[in-house]
Structure 1
Amino acid sequence: MLIKMNKYHISLVMAVGVWLSSCREVLEPRPIDILADQFVLNQASDVATVRLGAYAAFRGTAAPKVIVGDFTADYIQHNGTFTDYQELGNKQITSANGVAGALWGSVYNTVYVCNFLLEKLPTVPGVREAERKRVTAEARFLRGMANFIGATTFGNIPYVTSTNIDANKTIGKTDKATIMTNVLADFQAALTDLPEGSPTDGRPVFAGYATKSAVRAAMARYYLYQKNWAEAEASASAVISTNFYELVNYSDVVSKDFNNESIFEVGYTASDDPGTSAFGLNNLLVGRREVIPSNQFINQIISKESGERQRTVAFDFNAQGGGDNGWSVRKYGTPDEDNNNIVIFRLGEMYLIRAEARAQQGRMTGSTGALNDLNVLRTRAGKNTTVAANKPPLVTSATQAEALLLIERERLYELAFEGHRWYDLVRTGRAQAVMSAFSPNWTPKYELWPIPQTEIQRNPSLAGQQNPGY
Structure 2
Amino acid sequence: MNTRWVNKKKITLRSWMGAAGLSLLFWGVTSCREILEPSPVDLLVDELVLNEAADVQPVQLGLYNAFRGIGAPKVIAGDFTADYIQHNGTFTVYNELGNKQITAANDAAAALWGAIYRAVYIANFIEENIGNVPGVPEATRTRVLAEARFVRGYANFVGAYTYGGIPQVTTTDVPTNRNIGRASQEAILQSVLADYQAALPDLPETYPNDRITAKTFATKNAVRAALARYYLYQQNWTQAEQTATEIINTRLQSLDTSYAAVIFQEYDSETILEVAYANNSNDDPGTATFGLNNVLVGRREVIPANPLVLKLLSTNSGTRSQTISFNSTQQRGNDNGWTVRKYGSPDDANNNITLFRLAEIYLIRAEARVRQNRLTGTNGALADINLLRARAKAPNASFNTQENALLVIEEERVYELSFEGHRWYDLKRTGRIQAVMSAFSPNWNQKYELWPIPQSEIQRNRALVGAQNPGY
Same fold (TM over 0.5): yes
2:173 is matched with 164
Task: Report the equivalent of 1:50.
Answer: 59
Q: CA–CA distance in 2 between the matches of 1:439 and 1:366?
A: 39
- The 8 Å contact of residues 12 and 34 in structure 1, kept in 2 or not, is answered as no
Q: What is the CA distance between 1:203 and its match in structure 2?
A: 5.7
Paired with 2:48 and 2:406, the residues of 1 have a C-alpha distance of 50
- The Cα shift of 1:8 comes to 11
Give the SS at the match of 2:216: coil
Which residue in 2 is equivalent to 1:150? 159
State the partner residue of 2:274: 265
Partner of 2:399: 397
After the TM superposition, which residues 85-100 of structure 1 pair with which residues of structure 2 at under 5 Å, given as runs? 85-100=94-109
Number of residue pairs the alignment of both structures matches = 439
Provide the C-alpha distance between the structure 2 equivalents of 1:221 and 1:277, rounded to a whole number of angstroms: 25
Alignment deviations for residues 24-48 of structure 1 (CA, whole Å, 9 cap, x no partner): xxxxxxx97333xx84210001000
Partner of 1:229: 237
Distance across 1 between alignment mates of 2:416 and 2:456? 36
Q: 2: CA distance between counterparts of 1:276 and 1:178?
A: 28
Ranges in structure 2 where 5+ consecutive residues have no aligned partner:
1-11, 26-41
For normalisation by structure 2, the TM-score amounts to: 0.90
Question: Hey, what does 2:430 align to over in structure 1?
Answer: 428
Point out the structure with the larger strand share: 1
Cα deviations across residues 300-354 of structure 1 (Å, max 9, x unaligned)? 0110000010010000011111110000000000121100000000000000000
SS of residue paired to 2:94: helix
Structure 1 residues 68-125: Cα deviation after superposition (integer angstroms, max 9, x where no partner)? 1000000000000000100011000000000000000000000000000000100000
Shift of residue 6, structure 1, vs aligned partner = 1.9
From 435, 438, 441, the counterpart of 2:440: 438
For the pair 1:186 / 2:186, whether they are aligned, the reply is no
Rounded Cα–Cα distance in structure 1 between residues aligned with 2:149 and 2:89: 39
Partner of 1:255: 264
Alignment of 1:34-433 (within 5 A): 34-35=45-46, 39-197=48-206, 199=208, 201=209, 206-248=214-256, 249-272=258-281, 280-382=291-393, 392-433=394-435
**Superposition TM-score, scaled by structure 1 size:** 0.90
Amino acid at match of 2:155: A
SS of equivalent to 2:281: coil
Partner amino acid, structure 2, of 1:322 = G
Structure 2 Cα separation of the partners of residues 176 and 96 of structure 1: 22
In the alignment, which residue of structure 2 is the partner of 1:469? 471
SS at the partner of 1:425?
helix
**Contact 2:212/2:267 (8 A) holds in 1:** no
Which amino acid is 2:440 matched to? Answer: F
- Rounded Cα–Cα distance in structure 1 between residues aligned with 2:300 and 2:378: 43
Question: Deviation of residue 376 (structure 1)?
Answer: 0.6
- 1:385 maps to which residue? none
The answer to whether the Cα contact below 8 Å between 1:63 and 1:279 also exists between their aligned partners in 2 is no
Shift of 1:204: 8.4
Mapped contact 2:376–2:382 kept (Cα < 8 A): yes
* Cα distance between partner residues in 2 of 1:34 and 1:329: 35
Secondary structure, in 3 states, of the residue corresponding to 2:117? helix
Superposition RMSD in Å: 2.2
SS of 1:292's partner is: strand
Task: Give the equivalent residue in structure 2 for 1:18.
Answer: none
Contact persistence 1:204–1:245 (CA under 8 A): no
Query: For the residues of structure 2 that align with 1:91 and 1:206, how far apart are their CA atoms?
Result: 39
For the structure 1 residues 168 and 187, does the alpha-carbon distance in structure 2 shift closer, same or farther, using more than 3 Å as the test?
same
Between the aligned partners of 2:198 and 2:420, the Cα distance in structure 1 is 27
Shift of 1:277: 6.2
**Deviation per residue, 1:411-458 (Å, 9 max, x gap):** 000000000000000110000000000000001110011000011111
Q: Relative contact order (alpha carbons < 8 A, sep ≥ 6): 1 or 2 greater?
A: 2
The Cα shift of 1:219 comes to 0.1
SS at match of 1:328: strand
Structure 1 stretches (4+) deviating beyond 3 angstroms? 7-13, 201-205, 273-279
Q: Secondary structure at the match of 1:264?
A: strand
Check conservation: 1:99, 1:279, Cα contact below 8 A. Answer: no
Distance 2:214 2:194 in 1: 25
The CA distance in 2 between the partners of 1:146 and 1:432, in whole Å, is: 26
Which runs of 5 or more structure 1 residues have no equivalent in the other structure? Answer: 14-30, 383-391
Q: How far apart in 2 are the matches of 1:254 and 1:278?
A: 14
Q: Which amino acid in the other structure matches residue 360 of structure 1?
A: R
Q: 1:279 to 1:86 in 2, by over 3 A?
A: farther
